[in-house]
Amino acid sequence: MPSLSWNEIKTRAIQFSRAWAAETREQAEKQTFWNEFFLVFGIPRRTVASFEEPVQRIQHTYGFIDLLWKGKLLVEHKSAGASLEAAEAQAFDYIQDLQSSGRGDEAPRYILLSDFKRFALYDLEPDDQLDLPLFRGLRFHRTEFPLAEFHASWQASALVAGGSNLSPD
């Protein structure tokens, strides 16, 4: 993966926020949104993550994760103004579904939710609880920020998008 400076990422994040400020329609634009999100970090999304990843639900039906970077990141996206709490519940259900269907190694460390206007980032394995079993006494770290402040909060997202490959200025 290319190595970008933090200043380049910040510039790209500002451009991304401006370009997406008026968007509201999940079905029409979410895939383009996430492709461009990954490019903020210099990562072509297709090299790390897939859209509409099927997962067998506990009820033996199939659900489709909006975006999955196996073992790293699960994304759920909603239309502007939609409930991020509903997206949160859906994301946590998908993680349980991955576990119960024998795909536990694909369960991510991070969940990222968005409705175009806001992001909510969850770190499911914060350093203070690495030995706790998933969903048993789970304490996760949640960071929420508006799209307009993405450039100021991009370091949290850089962790998701391969922050260890990024070089500080």
How is 45-94 classified by DSSP, letter by letter?
Answer: GGGT-EEEEEEE-TTS-EEEEEEEETTTEEEEE--TT--HHHHHHHHHHH
Residue 22 resides in a domain: yes
Residue 53 resides in a domain: yes
Residue 28 resides in a domain: yes
The pTM score is 0.85
Structural domains in the chain (count): 1
Residue 66 resides in a domain: yes
Per-residue model confidence as pLDDT tens for the chain (169 residues) = 557 888 999 999 999 999 999 998 888 899 999 999 999 999 999 999 999 999 999 888 999 999 999 999 999 999 998 999 999 999 999 999 999 999 999 999 999 999 999 999 998 876 655 555 555 555 678 889 999 999 988 767 776 656 544 444 4
What is the CATH classification number for the domain harbouring 30?
3.90.1570
Residue 1 resides in a domain: no
User: For residue 156, what are the domain limits?
Assistant: 6-165
